[in-house]
Structures are given as C-alpha cells and as structure tokens.
Amino acid sequence: MTKKNFSLCSFVVWTLWLARNELIFERDNWTPSDVICKAEAFFNDFNRAKSHEEVVDHPTATPPRQDQHLVWIPPPLDVVKINADASFVKDKSFGALGFIIHNHNGSPLLAALNPTPMHSIISGEAKAIKEGILEAIGLGYFRLWVESNNLEVITALSNDYNFIAFQIRPIIEDIRFICANPIKCSFSYVPMAINGIADTLARRGLSFRCKTVWPQSTPWLNQLCEADVLACNRSFF
C-alpha cells in the first residue's frame, strides 16, 4: 500500500467515526457512499492545507517547496495571522486557550491565554480560534488568516458541509457568523511544530487563574517568538 492510500484509509476510518457520532447524537444515518465521498473531501482538504496551497483570499502566501524546511509563514501585507491552540486536563474538565496575533512583518501584535472549563480538547481548540478572531477584530483588523494544528476544527471551518462534530457545532456556527462580510477570514492546518507559541501559551494557561492578554509592547513577547522560530527550524534539520 502506498503512503497516499494509507493516508486516505485513515481518513475513511475517521469519517466512519464521525458517521457513528452523527447516528448516535444527531440521528443522521450516512450511507456508505456518503462516508467515502466525505472521506475523500477531507483527504483532499488536508493535503491542500498542509502544503499551504489553499489559503482563501490570500494568494500571495506561497507554499513551501519540498526542499525547504517547514517554517511559519508571515501573512500578506493587509492581513494578520492568528495562531491558536488549547490544552486540556480530562479528569478535571478544565483547560486553557492560547493564541497569538502577528502582522505581515512577523511581529506579534497581541498574545493571550485563558484558563476555562472545557469538556473536550476539540471544543477548546475551536474556542481558542473564536477568541483569537474576536481579539483581532477588536484591534481593528478585518482580514484574518487563522492557523491551528487541529485538523477536524480547520476542516469544519473550511467547508460548507453540514456534518460537524456535535461538541463544536455551536462554536463553528458562531465563528462562521463572526467571519461574515465585511470580515475576510481563511483557515489553515499546520503541524504542532509550527504552532509552538500558541501551544506554549495554552499550556501556561493551566497555571493561571484568569484570562491574561499581553499587548505588542510586552518585551518578552518578541523573545518568545524568536525562541520559537529557532526551535521550529532546529526541529526540521
């Protein structure tokens, strides 16, 4: 079996799990053809997002060549990028959200973490994206590029399909409503190594008692970004 076919099979298994959830919680019975079609759609979306070839409304974001090291890519001139992540302590139903907003120069505009009750990691990942978008809009930015290392959330946001895991359906609908005209927002999947700063903020949030926001003027924010870039580059050598 080729690597491509093996990857496609994994998406079929995942889609079967989604179909099981839909049958149990939504009473929606998918046919075998539905499962295959949706698995293929997920697989194709994943490959496009992974190579940065499908960035809606941001054609200047060039996908890296195969011989390049996988690195974080700054957004275009009139766009800000939001990297979001979440951490989760299952036995306590508690977690933390983390996100950071960068401009086209790669300079951080704002970073935040927010400890919060949480029922699943996937709901936390979706909430982190929602909070990051609201903070960016609050700063006066309306062209947004969101990155997350949670493929299921990014897939739900990147497509108009009606099937969404029940845990995140209300949050996904909120995000889609927020990102309606005049807001322009695209969503991309990235590996965990590219999402390191957001991951660090989310993990730190577990030891905080309330939401904390650091503006651009915070000295350690640039140091954190520089350290994460170096760590990311080293991880791919």
Picking from 142, 167, 169, the residue whose alpha carbon sits closest to that of residue 157 is 169
Q: Which residues of the chain have pLDDT under 50?
A: 50-69, 227-237
In the beta sheet, which residues pair with residue 24? Answer: none
* 24-51 pLDDT per residue, tens: 655 667 677 777 777 776 666 566 554 4
The runs of H, that is alpha helices, within 192-218 are 196-204
- Residue ranges, comma separated, of all CATH 3.30.420.10 domains in the chain are 80-235
Give me the pLDDT at residue 23, please.
Answer: 67
* 127-165 pLDDT per residue, tens: 999 999 999 999 999 999 999 999 989 988 987 666 677
In the beta sheet, which residues pair with residue 85? Answer: 98
User: Is the alpha carbon torsion for 152, 153, 159, 163 positive or negative?
Assistant: positive
Domain 80-235, CATH class in plain words: alpha beta
What average pLDDT is seen over the chain? 78
Q: Number of C-alpha atoms within 13 angstroms, CB side, residue 47?
A: 11
